[in-house]
């Protein structure tokens, strides 16, 4: 339960004032209209608490009857409510990057509005029709044709291998780890994830394996070295291709692993097994059937495929697909998360039987928290690579935002396994 509160509405600076639906009108007189609207909505918060310090040093607190995140927000000016109302999560992110606001725990602040979804939509739903239209158009222009896919992937993954090497673990794995029993550090947990995927796919010695979206080669190296599989890895990131190719050469695995700079749509080989780790999110909704059709085409009869995919809950999907969010604007242009049901229906449509799945969103929340700490710890080195303070705030918000989504289980991550 939330803490007992009074309805004191004193205007003394620095004195905390609880806002309730009953007293909120009197307490907010004189504040900008967008701020008043945001705080009126927040006063109906059903879960958790939020303490807000305003630019004029007034302190408001809102809270629901049910337990939930205990968050704090410090406004340096009045821009956040206006930008949130206008542009949704993109506005919230840009406001953070511009220094309009801060929080001692940004993840918890964002999580509060995820678990209080209706209030979050009221405040940060992005109500400006022109802004929303521009964002939808921008997302449409990032559609993942063959040529556009390379540009979209390059926007994120070709920041440079040196950038990612500074804060990823030694396996150079940029996807959720699996913190199973005994996997208490990030590197071990990433290997545990690889092992679970390979085991449930059924990869054995000399299996012929296709990996769609091989990244920097972590899974391909694991499957070849630890199991003895023969792996073909596909990537459309030039930086990843160069790194993974050299990685296999140094590991003495060039005879077992071939890295190809190639779009998955151009693959024509037949394979015993197919693996794909957090690549499907970048495919784009229009091309989901194309992806599953290619998996079916490239699997030998009786073959199996395993994918690790981030999904969004069914109830939120329609609104999400109509209104591009911060991730689609700044981090993964052209991307789209599927729902769990969509993964099942796509499998059925292409004769792929989904025979097993495992779900581990809290492992992703932990992975993101560890990445954030490693990113902060590497910032002095990253600055010397040419990244500025605004870029730092963009990446901070990205990691906070995703962690909040997984902690609240608004989104999750799962490994899904199909048989041909």
Q: How far lies 194's CA from each of 240, 307, 345, 354, 377, in Å?
A: 18, 11, 26, 19, 26
Q: Which residues are bridge partners to 310 per DSSP?
A: 413
The Cα–Cα gap between 151 and 116 comes to 36
The Cα–Cα gap between 376 and 391 comes to 12
The Cα–Cα gap between 371 and 300 comes to 37
The residue whose two tokens read 């521009």 is 134
Q: Is residue 174 within 8 Å of residue 364, measured between CB atoms?
A: no
In the chain, what are the helix, strand and coil shares in percent, each to the nearest 5? 50, 20, 30
Q: Which of 153, 307, 402, 413 is catalytic?
A: 402
Active-site annotation holds for 402 = yes
The Cα–Cα gap between 148 and 137 comes to 15
CA angle 412, 193, 333 (to 5 degrees): 50
- In 3D space, the residue among 280, 339, 336, 337 whose CA is nearest the CA of residue 315 turns out to be 339
Contacts of 188 (CB under 8 A, 6+ apart): 182
The residue whose two tokens read 């080669």 is 217
Q: Which residues are bridge partners to 299 per DSSP?
A: 271
Contacts of 104 (CB under 8 A, 6+ apart): 72
Q: Within a 10 A sphere around the Cβ of 399, how many other Cβ atoms?
A: 21
Which sequence positions are flagged as catalytic? Answer: 402
């Amino acid at each position: 339960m939330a803490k007992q509160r009074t309805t004191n509405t004193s205007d003394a600076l620095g004195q905390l004032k609880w806002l309730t639906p009953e007293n909120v009108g009197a307490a907010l007189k004189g504040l900008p209209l967008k701020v008043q609207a945001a705080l009126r909505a927040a006063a109906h918060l059903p879960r958790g608490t939020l303490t807000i310090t305003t630019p004029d040093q007034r302190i408001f607190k809102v809270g629901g009857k049910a337990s939930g995140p205990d968050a704090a927000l410090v406004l340096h000016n009045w821009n956040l409510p206006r930008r949130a109302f206008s542009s949704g999560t993109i506005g919230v992110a840009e406001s953070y990057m511009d220094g309009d606001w801060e929080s001692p725990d940004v993840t918890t602040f964002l999580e509060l509005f995820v678990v209080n979804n209706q209030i979050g939509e009221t405040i940060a739903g992005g109500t400006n029709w022109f802004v929303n239209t521009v964002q939808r158009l921008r997302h449409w222009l990032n559609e993942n044709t063959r040529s556009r896919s390379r540009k979209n992937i390059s926007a994120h993954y070709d920041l440079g291998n040196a950038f990612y090497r500074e804060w990823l673990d030694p396996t150079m794995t940029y996807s959720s780890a699996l913190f199973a029993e005994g996997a208490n550090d990030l590197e071990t947990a990433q290997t545990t994830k690889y092992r679970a995927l390979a085991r449930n796919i059924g990869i054995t010695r000399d299996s012929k394996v296709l990996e769609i979206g091989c990244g920097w080669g972590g899974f391909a190296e694991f499957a070849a070295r630890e199991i003895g599989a023969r792996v073909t890895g596909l990537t459309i990131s030039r930086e990843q291709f160069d790194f993974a190719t050299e990685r296999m050469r140094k590991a003495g695995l060039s005879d077992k692993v071939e890295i190809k700079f190639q779009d998955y749509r151009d693959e024509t080989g037949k394979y015993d097994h197919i693996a794909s780790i957090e690549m499907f999110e970048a495919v784009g909704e229009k091309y989901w059937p194309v992806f599953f059709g290619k998996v079916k085409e490239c699997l030998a009869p009786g073959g199996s495929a395993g994918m690790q995919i981030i999904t969004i809950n069914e109830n939120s999907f329609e609104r999400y697909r109509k209104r591009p969010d911060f991730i689609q604007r700044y981090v993964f242009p052209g991307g789209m998360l599927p729902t769990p049901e969509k993964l099942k229906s796509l499998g059925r449509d292409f004769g792929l039987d989904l025979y097993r799945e495992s779900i581990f969103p809290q492992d992703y929340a932990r992975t993101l928290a560890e990445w954030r700490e490693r990113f902060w710890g590497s910032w002095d080195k990253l600055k010397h690579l040419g990244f500025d303070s605004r870029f730092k705030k963009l990446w901070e918000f990205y990691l906070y935002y995703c962690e909040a989504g997984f902690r609240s289980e608004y989104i999750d991550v799962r490994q899904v396994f199909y048989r041909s």
